[in-house]
Amino acid sequence: MLGKGVVGGGGGTKAPKPSFVSYVRPEEIHTNEKEVTEKEVTLHLLPGEQLLCEASTVLKYVQEDSCQHGVYGRLVCTDFKIAFLGDDESALDNDETQFKNKVIGENDITLHCVDQIYGVFDEKKKTLFGQLKKYPEKLIIHCKDLRVFQFCLRYTKEEEVKRIVSGIIHHTQAPKLLKRLFLFSYATAAQNNTVTDPKNHTVMFDTLKDWCWELERTKGNMKYKAVSVNEGYKVCERLPAYFVVPTPLPEENVQRFQGHGIPIWCWSCHNGSALLKMSALPKEQDDGILQIQKSFLDGIYKTIHRPPYEIVKTEDLSSNFLSLQEIQTAYSKFKQLFLIDNSTEFWDTDIKWFSLLESSSWLDIIRRCLKKAIEITECMEAQNMNVLLLEENASDLCCLISSLVQLMMDPHCRTRIGFQSLIQKEWVMGGHCFLDRCNHLRQNDKEEHQRQLSLPLTQSKSSPKRGFFREETDHLIKNLLGKRISKLINSSDELQDNFREFYDSWHSKSTDYHGLLLPHIEGPEIKVWAQRYLRWIPEAQILGGGQVATLSKLLEMMEEVQSLQEKIDERHHSQQAPQAEAPCLLRNSARLSSLFPFALLQRHSSKPVLPTSGWKALGDEDDLAKREDEFVDLGDV
Amino acid sequence: MGRPRQGSRDYASQPPPPGAQSNFPYRDGPWHLGPAHPQRHIANYNSQLPPCVGPFKMGFPAASRAKSPALRSCSPGRPGALFLPPAPSRDAVPPTGTGRRAAGGGRGRAGRGGRTPEGAEPGPAAEQPGNGGGARSPRVSRMASASTSKYNSHSLENESIKRTSRDGVNRDLTEAVPRLPGETLITDKEVIYICPFNGPIKGRVYITNYRLYLRSLETDSSLILDVPLGVISRIEKMGGATSRGENSYGLDITCKDMRNLRFALKQEGHSRRDMFEILTRYAFPLAHSLPLFAFLNEEKFNVDGWTVYNPVEEYRRQGLPNHHWRITFINKCYELCDTYPALLVVPYRASDDDLRRVATFRSRNRIPVLSWIHPENKTVIVRCSQPLVGMSGKRNKDDEKYLDVIRETNKQISKLTIYDARPSVNAVANKATGGGYESDDAYHNAELFFLDIHNIHVMRESLKKVKDIVYPNVEESHWLSSLESTHWLEHIKLVLTGAIQVADKVSSGKSSVLVHCSDGWDRTAQLTSLAMLMLDSFYRSIEGFEILVQKEWISFGHKFASRIGHGDKNHTDADRSPIFLQFIDCVWQMSKQFPTAFEFNEQFLIIILDHLYSCRFGTFLFNCESARERQKVTERTVSLWSLINSNKEKFKNPFYTKEINRVLYPVASMRHLELWVNYYIRWNPRIKQQQPNPVEQRYMELLALRDEYIKRLEELQLANSAKLSDPPTSPSSPSQMMPHVQTHF
């Protein structure tokens, strides 16, 4: 039932869940008086943001203790977001507002975050799109960040229902012109007054200087040069204005096939070997042209096959690796596992969780990406070879693999700034088609397959946050994506011995977290990234627990050490009695949950969640199940 | 720990303090209950500690570690620990050590107390059974020390292949085999160890009355295998006289701890027959009228683990007895119920005669008795076995009344909640054999729920399937669906779900709860102990957990001997089942979900499981308290808690934050349950634990830094008060004087 045939992704049109059963009747919905009086919550608009339509007396469902209740409020749609203005967020006390997202509130859904919209008509759940003849009693919004919102429109005036529902559908589904994207009106309206610390900024790779800096940092400047041949995008719109190629390569070669067939430098390893990428030459039928292409490539290869260049190994990512379609299909299935409408659905799917997970193949794809990156790392690190990634446009899997390789090999990429620079270098400047892949303009699905390509990357990393980046990344790479290996001697696939030996020997040594890092890639070690995927599901939240608990202990200890340090400093300077301790920022751990630091606890009571559906048949073990534990000696009873 | 430890040790061996006595509403027996373990050795322990730790360094000082035949034949000063040459003819002779020990049968430890361990004997503090680190030769431990620090998960054995970087790679045979006091070497043989991960390795295997110890004879491998014989479940001969294949003739040993060991032996010279016979004899001593090793073990510790649990003290901690509950000694000679502890807590209003009548209606006389009382709302968890309802639907007025009395101890709610751990089908089916469950008609004031937890046979098969997918090779292509097909985590989920329900009912439902399954010693023990762990933070400390195990499992007659099959050769015995392992797995799952809530770490759980099988300690031996008392287990054996509590630092979770009164509800969803890789897949060298966990490592660094700063600050304070009038002179900035926090984050 989950994720069947939703190929085509983001705005796919097929409902994965054919019907909807409402588990709560309106009369069961508890609302309290305070909420009905509708404390007016003001709508915060960003500069340039405009209110488009709104509806009042909308009931937002809140999942709690396996039953739902509702909060009244106003549902609005702007040119940037859908927002619900209830008064349940006023409960936050001061301590807790520090975790609030300052741009997007807890009940805000940016238009681009909307994945699917469903309406409930007579207890049946249907996908909503286009012009509606009939308006639903209930609106369910599945977000791309895996939140699920449910709004009951039963108590809303009919006029308002029409306006808000068609407004939301239009603004989230109708094709959009690029210039109408909200960020342009925002950028015009907002003053750009961010001060960048020059020492601490993300390298944007939009100048020749940035590339030279990167070449210098990795000591690639001995054999590679930054070129400005594409300045003003004269040669090719897909390529960045500045990029790096092998030093002896004549610049006019770049123009020859609009940048195709050119080995473009990504990164150099400490031993001098480099990671390169190349977009394939256009496919041609004509023998003459093919001949020309061949001799062109021969020339290129001659350049990079000669000393001082290392032996080159070519990795053709278009033919021997994952297809974009595979990734897209897997993600569509995978994400459905987390878009949970209610408790019953959660527990129903819980029993077959592992097989559902496996059938999505998502974790297997993650593993294959990591494995490919390890193989390339092995070539560069152990065999001192150059690796040339080859792909049609060199802007999808190339971005993915080359950033993974750099994360494994280059500790700089595991710092927050380094990681941001890496994204900028490999993905943004690397020409990854974010607009198409994320379908920001909502072109028809059939014309353009959107692919969730950057997701494998983010699954293998954490998003930069709270100054924890390095640890988090290490941790995720090592831990989340697996740390153990289990492929054993008699597994017999294509793995080269080299790879196996390299991998095993690395894992047999103790880890230097500031050096090469290889993730474990075997079955038990590749796990779901719970903090991303499970965070919005109330049933899956561990109250006061989860990895967050240890991290917050770590933060507390950091604070304590820092305050001690300050005290010592003070004593050295003034010998005055230390001042009263600054109040500890954090953090009653019991209030934290797996939502941290994205939001605070959603479940308001501390009642445990209990599975509502039970046992799956044991199958062939039924005999055993019927047996007595022990022979019961009845004696003379 | 929120409880007074002082005086606890004397408690068992002394009359009760007068105050305690007068508190008891009812008293019917002398105060000789609880483990009879006078603390006579405590004073001796300290004086017995060898002046230096590091047993093998002492026995074989660096200078003598060279190859030395002289040393080899006379392992110094170890009486009764003769190092027998590998002569088959000697194997049949019982080693003198065993004989001596057997002759001295009833001798308590007091008798041994006077003997100071000789230099060669491991000092108690140095022995590190959890790690194998202490049990290995100095050279090996030195080489491996980096990677086998305290984070090592490979407890009993360190199976690691390491290439020696030295030039002289001669195997030093004088290091031979580590031995515990009381351990004697029986034989040694040259074998090929068929390592499933690294292929055949030539080695010498030493068999003592406690362990099988293999040392590689190959120059490029320093493999050590150190396996207590207690973990052996089955020994099979592989290959016959006609076997031709390489390494096809030998022994295949199935272990209880998720691994198999295979040794190839030479066909000539009867070496396989000898090894088979000796192993069988010492791995299954019960079949050969030999004592379990725990009765021969002469280890000394500076803490006596037998004093950890004192039932009176534990009930007192819970605020018992009180107006509604009394302590009864009706079972002091195990006459009421031979599988229950001597001391029971029952409703004040039920007389001993009532109890006797109720006993006739409960399977194996296991009447409802109190396990835990809520400190505030005074609701209770009561445990028992199934009622003997039978096909005809028998009723028993006394039982019905008794449950009503229990219900009435709690005024807040008009119902008593009964959790029957079984699936309802099984509960119904049990009627055919005389059992059953509490029907609505008979028990008006009770609400019954079934928790759908399966029986011991289902659990045993499930664990077998787990082994199939993880040993020796980890199922790769369909890991998740294979894992699902074992149902292991599904069982864990159900057990946890049941325990959550019990805890929640008591805590927020404010209803007293009665828990039973069939006999009340498997699933019932799981549910009550897990619920108590969720409700009472005391049990999440190291000693608290020991008390929990000692109370809910050991004293209430979980049939450890039958479920584990200590020293018993019948590996197909249907009584065997990994119920306790399943409980520990549930605890691990909880500690995973609440990484700051438990004082102990994963290592603690693993060492408990290791010694569940090892037979080195008396803790898990026998099926019930009465049997233990008959065997004088507390006098004649050492407790596992002695070992653990004298090495506590090793088992502590650095993130532990004590939180009183916080109820922990784990999320019993497959989305959060994980296979416990560091236990079930620990023999696979490729599944080596991440050592150490980076977050933990960073935390430890910060802890050390904090301590250093606090010290600095104190010093500064002292210095300042000493020279108050001096002007600040130090020109150097403090940052030059001390390391600052490295904010690598």
The residue of chain B nearest to residue A512, with distances taken between CA atoms, is: B694
CA distance, residue A335 to nearest chain B CA (Å): 14
Q: Of A383, A453, A425, which is closest to residue A277 (Cα–Cα)? A: A425
- Which has more pLDDT, A597 or A266? A266
pLDDT digit string, tens, across residues A98-120:
566 778 888 899 999 999 999 99
Tokens 């100071």: give the residue. Answer: B116
User: Are the beta carbons of A540 and B672 separated by less than 8 Å?
Assistant: yes
pLDDT at B745: 36
Contacts of A352 in chain B (CB under 8 A): 484
User: Are the beta carbons of A530 and B672 separated by less than 8 Å?
Assistant: yes
pLDDT at A189: 86
Q: What is the rounded average pLDDT of the residues A14-19? A: 40
Q: What is the rounded average pLDDT of the residues A261-289? A: 93
CA distance, residue B481 to nearest chain A CA (Å): 5
User: Are the beta carbons of A353 and B659 separated by less than 8 Å?
Assistant: no
| Chain A touched by B738 (CB under 8 Å) | yes
Q: Which long-range contacts (CB under 8 A, 24 or more apart) does A257-260 make?
A: A257/A281, A257/A282, A257/A293, A257/A296, A259/A230, A259/A235
| Chain B touched by A224 (CB under 8 Å) | no
Tell me which of B366, B686, B693 to substitute to probe the interface with A (most A C-beta atoms closer than 10 Å).
B686
Q: Please, what is the average pLDDT of chain A?
A: 79
% of chain B surpassing 90 pLDDT = 64
ipTM of this model? 0.83
Q: What is the rounded average pLDDT of the residues A24-28? A: 45
- Which has more pLDDT, B240 or B734? B240
CA distance, residue B585 to nearest chain A CA (Å): 16
Contacts of B199 in chain A (CB under 8 A): 489
| Chain A touched by B36 (CB under 8 Å) | no
Strand residues in B332-392 grouped as ranges (E): 344-347, 369-373, 380-384
Tell me which of A629, A632, A634, A637 to substitute to probe the interface with B (most B C-beta atoms closer than 10 Å).
A629
| Chain B touched by A474 (CB under 8 Å) | yes
Q: What is the rounded average pLDDT of the residues A199-206? A: 86
% of chain B surpassing 70 pLDDT = 73
Provide the residue ranges of all domains of chain A, joining segments of one domain with +: 51-88+103-183, 208-438
**CATH number of this structure's domain A51-88+103-183, picked from the four choices 1.25.40.390, 2.40.110.10, 2.30.29.30, 1.10.238.10:** 2.30.29.30
Contacts of A546 in chain B (CB under 8 A): 593, 595
Q: Say if residue A261's pLDDT is above 60.
A: yes
Tell me which of A344, A480, A628, A634 to substitute to probe the interface with B (most B C-beta atoms closer than 10 Å).
A628
pLDDT digit string, tens, across residues A520-560:
888 888 889 888 898 888 888 888 888 888 888 888 899 99
Structure-token pair, residue A113: 């975050």
User: Are the beta carbons of B743 and A469 separated by less than 8 Å?
Assistant: no
pLDDT at A474: 37
Q: Of A330, A288, A622, which is closest to residue A452 (Cα–Cα)? A: A330
| Chain B touched by A31 (CB under 8 Å) | no
Closest by Cβ to B706, choosing from A489, A564, A608 = A564
Closest by Cβ to B686, choosing from A485, A540, A562 = A485
Closest by Cβ to B706, choosing from A350, A467, A557 = A557
CA distance, residue A29 to nearest chain B CA (Å): 23
Contact (Cβ atoms closer than 8 angstroms) between residue B565 and residue B584: no
Q: Of A589, A601, A607, which is closest to residue B500 (Cα–Cα)? A: A607
Distance CA B141, CA B148 (A): 8
Reported as a pLDDT band with limits 50, 70 and 90, residue B23 is very low
Contact (Cβ atoms closer than 8 angstroms) between residue A355 and residue A2: no
- Residue A489 sits at the vertex; the CA angle it makes with A488 and A493, to the nearest 5 degrees, is 85
Number of helices (H) and strands (E) in chain B: give both, helices first: 28, 14
pLDDT digit string, tens, across residues B550-594:
999 999 999 999 999 999 999 999 999 999 999 999 999 999 999
CA distance, residue A577 to nearest chain B CA (Å): 9
The residue of chain B nearest to residue A488, with distances taken between CA atoms, is: B473
- Which has more pLDDT, B345 or B727? B345
Backbone φ and ψ for B418, nearest 5 degrees, come out as -110, 125
Residues making up the binding site of B: 455-456, 517-523
Structure-token pair, residue B28: 């019917």
Number of C-beta neighbours around residue A599 at 10 A:
19
Residues 6+ apart with CB under 8 A from A71: A31, A35, A59, A60, A62, A86, A87, A88
The residue of chain A nearest to residue B589, with distances taken between CA atoms, is: A546
pLDDT at A20: 44
| Chain A touched by B472 (CB under 8 Å) | yes
Q: Say if residue B300's pLDDT is above 50.
A: yes
pLDDT digit string, tens, across residues B80-109:
333 333 333 333 334 433 333 433 333 334
Distance CA B476, CA A248 (A): 46
pLDDT at A404: 96
Q: What is the rounded average pLDDT of the residues A473-498? A: 40
pLDDT at B743: 38
pLDDT at B121: 34
CA distance, residue A575 to nearest chain B CA (Å): 7
Q: Which helix (H) or strand (E) holds B328?
A: strand B325-328
Look at B21-25, B217-221, B497-501, B641-645 and tell me which has the smallest mean pLDDT. B21-25
Q: Which helix (H) or strand (E) holds A391?
A: strand A386-391
pLDDT at A496: 61
pLDDT at B685: 82
Q: For the whole model, what pTM was predicted?
A: 0.81
pLDDT digit string, tens, across residues A221-249:
999 999 999 999 999 999 999 999 999 99
User: Are the beta carbons of A629 and B455 separated by less than 8 Å?
Assistant: yes
Amino acid in position A547: Q
Residues 6+ apart with CB under 8 A from A618: A624, A625, B454, B458, B487
Q: Please, what is the average pLDDT of chain B?
A: 80
Distance CA A115, CA A339 (A): 10
Sign of CA dihedral A101, A106, A111, A112: positive
pLDDT digit string, tens, across residues A118-151:
999 998 999 998 888 899 999 999 999 999 999 9
Q: Say if residue B301's pLDDT is above 70.
A: yes
Q: What is the rounded average pLDDT of the residues B335-341? A: 97
| Chain A touched by B464 (CB under 8 Å) | no
User: Are the beta carbons of A554 and B147 separated by less than 8 Å?
Assistant: no
pLDDT at A563: 92
Backbone φ and ψ for B191, nearest 5 degrees, come out as -140, 170
Active site residues of B: 517
pLDDT at A88: 56
Q: Of B672, B420, B684, B464, which is closest to residue B581 (Cα–Cα)? A: B464
Q: Say if residue A216's pLDDT is above 70.
A: yes
Distance CA A343, CA A610 (A): 10
Q: Say if residue B28's pLDDT is above 90.
A: no
pLDDT at A178: 86
| Chain A touched by B503 (CB under 8 Å) | yes
pLDDT at A101: 73
Reported as a pLDDT band with limits 50, 70 and 90, residue A592 is low
Q: Of B228, B235, B226, which is closest to residue B205 (Cα–Cα)? A: B226
The residue of chain B nearest to residue A615, with distances taken between CA atoms, is: B452
| Chain A touched by B702 (CB under 8 Å) | yes
Amino acid in position A104: I
